[in-house]
């Protein structure tokens, strides 16, 4: 493949930094990140870091100069934070995305965007297909719905090559283990420290956990697909209950932590599992890391 000038927004973050690692060999890679949740230690030394706020138009101009391809991973990723600060989350997740799409339109650069299964809210059926209606239950989900829809509109209206990837529950190395983070990194921290593993509610809720390396593969496929102007579910097509997850993590880490049940989380999704047939057919995406394997290598 020809070497490209590639921008990864959020390239110091969890997903973005893994993507950068996969891109640097063949491409000239630039990162835009304000290091608010991303870390300098995640930044691949072969990439160029532009440290700044994506909401700032001069910073965005500098970051997008001469790029051929953009992976947009920057955002306020915590649902809870979006509930606490809906306006800031909207500025980062939506206003900045629109500004980025405008730059891409000037440059005629393909944009692969991080969308989310949060757009579906409580699904009417599982597995969840892309035809499921949008019914977000958080500002985060609403912002991602609009981002996702804007991506498709930019293809329809302006012929810009866009692909929206609707990520399910991502886990893997470098995911932060703070309170705003994903359940796997939280359970891992609790199991390692011998603290109680905190299952919200009865633990019967299900999730489709997809390893970050598979997310990277999906992004690389989206970068070259001819099927643009489309959104794709990216998960594994399998799911587990949170109770099972807690038990597996305790076993794999040989921990003696207790598993405790706390109050259910308000607005929690009961069942989530991706129908990935569209991504398989059109992108050639196949998940390669089953959960037990991903967990053993993580713990
Ligand atoms: C994930 C994504 C979110 C959005 C959403 C779409 C993360 C961090 N969040 O939210 O960005 O895409 O999916 O619906 O990836 N849980 C416990 N104990 C804990 C923490 C969590 O039982 O200490 C439960 C929680 O109640 C939920 C499940 O684990 O049922 C997953 O929680 P999460 O915060 O990892 O992710 P989720 O699905 O709420």
Q: What's the CA angle centered on 64, arms 60 and 66, to 5 degrees?
A: 150
Residue 228: the pLDDT is 98
Longest dimension (CA), the chain: 57
Whether residue 140 lies in the annotated active site: yes
Nearest CA to ligand 1 atom 1: 169
Residue 266: the pLDDT is 83
Shortest-distance atom of ligand 1 to CA 205: 30
As a whole number, mean pLDDT of residues 270-295 equals 97
Residue 165: the pLDDT is 99
Segment 58-84, tens digit of pLDDT: 999 999 999 999 999 999 998 889 999
Residue 179: the pLDDT is 73
Contact 207, 242 (CB under 8 A): yes
Nearest CA to ligand 1 atom 9: 182
ipTM of this complex:
0.95
As a whole number, mean pLDDT of residues 179-207 equals 94
Shortest-distance atom of ligand 1 to CA 187: 23
Nearest CA to ligand 1 atom 7: 182
- The architecture that CATH gives domain 170-208+238-268+289-298 is Alpha-Beta Complex (3.90)
H helix runs in 9-138, sequence order = 14-23, 57-64, 79-84, 86-90, 96-107
Contact 274, 234 (CB under 8 A): yes
Segment 238-282, tens digit of pLDDT: 999 999 999 999 999 999 999 999 999 888 899 999 999 999 999
Smallest CA-to-CA distance from 45 within 73, 17, 26 is with 17
Segment 90-117, tens digit of pLDDT: 999 999 999 999 999 999 999 999 999 9
Q: Which residue has the tokens 């196949």?
A: 286
Reported confidence tier of residue 1, pLDDT bands at 50, 70, 90: low
CATH of domain 5-169+209-234: 3.40.50.720
Residues 288, 214: Cα–Cα separation, whole Å: 7
Nearest CA to ligand 1 atom 29: 183
Contact 249, 184 (CB under 8 A): yes
* Ligand 1 pocket, CB under 6 A: 77, 79, 116-118, 169-170, 181-183, 186, 198-200, 205, 207, 242, 265, 268-269
Q: What's the CA angle centered on 57, arms 26 and 69, to 5 degrees?
A: 20
Sort 177 into a burial class: Cβ within 10 Å, 0-12 / 13-18 / 19+: middle
**Residues 120, 140, 150, 285: which is the catalytic one?**
140
- DSSP string computed for 151-167: HHHHHHHH---EEEEEE
Q: In sequence order, which residues have a C-beta less than 8 Å from that of residue 8 and are 6 or more positions away?
A: 16, 19, 20, 23, 29, 30, 31, 32, 47, 70, 71, 73
Segment 4-20, tens digit of pLDDT: 999 999 999 999 999 99
Residue 180: the pLDDT is 75
Residues 111, 145: Cα–Cα separation, whole Å: 16
Segment 120-151, tens digit of pLDDT: 999 999 999 999 999 999 999 999 999 999 99
Instruction: Name the average pLDDT for the chain.
Output: 96
Please report, for the chain, the start and end positions of each structural domain, with discontinuous segments joined by +.
5-169+209-234, 170-208+238-268+289-298
With 80 as the cut, is the pLDDT of residue 159 above it? yes
Residue 119: the pLDDT is 97
Residue 183: the pLDDT is 95
Reported confidence tier of residue 299, pLDDT bands at 50, 70, 90: confident
């Amino acid at each position: 493949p020809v070497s490209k000038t590639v921008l990864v927004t959020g390239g110091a973050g969890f997903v973005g930094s893994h993507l950068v690692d996969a891109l640097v060999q063949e491409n000239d890679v630039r990162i835009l990140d304000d290091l608010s949740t991303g870390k300098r230690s995640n930044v691949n030394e072969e990439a160029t870091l532009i440290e700044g706020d994506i909401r700032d138009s001069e910073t965005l101009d500098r970051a997008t100069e001469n790029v051929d391809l953009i992976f947009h991973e920057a955002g306020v990723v915590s649902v809870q934070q979006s509930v606490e600060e809906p306006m800031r989350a909207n500025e980062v997740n939506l206003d900045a995305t629109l500004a980025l799409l405008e730059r891409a339109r000037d440059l005629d650069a393909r944009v692969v965007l991080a969308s989310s299964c949060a757009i579906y809210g409580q699904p009417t059926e599982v597995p969840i297909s892309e035809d499921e209606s949008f019914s977000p239950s958080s500002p985060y989900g609403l912002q991602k719905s609009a981002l996702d829809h804007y991506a498709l509109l930019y293809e329809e209206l302006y012929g810009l090559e866009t692909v929206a990837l609707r990520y399910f529950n991502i886990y893997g190395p470098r995911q932060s283990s703070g309170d705003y983070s994903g359940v796997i990194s939280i359970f891992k921290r609790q199991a390692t420290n011998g603290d109680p593993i905190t299952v919200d509610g009865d633990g019967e809720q299900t999730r489709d956990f997809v390893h970050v390396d598979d997310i990277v593969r999906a992004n690389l496929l989206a970068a070259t697909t001819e099927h643009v102007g489309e959104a794709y579910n990216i998960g594994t097509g399998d799911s587990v209950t949170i109770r099972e997850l807690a038990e597996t993590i305790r076993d794999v880490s040989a921990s003696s932590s207790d598993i405790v049940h706390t109050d259910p989380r308000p607005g929690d999704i009961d069942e989530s599992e991706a129908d990935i047939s569209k991504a398989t057919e059109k992108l050639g995406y196949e998940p390669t890391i089953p959960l037990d394997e991903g967990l053993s290598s993580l713990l």
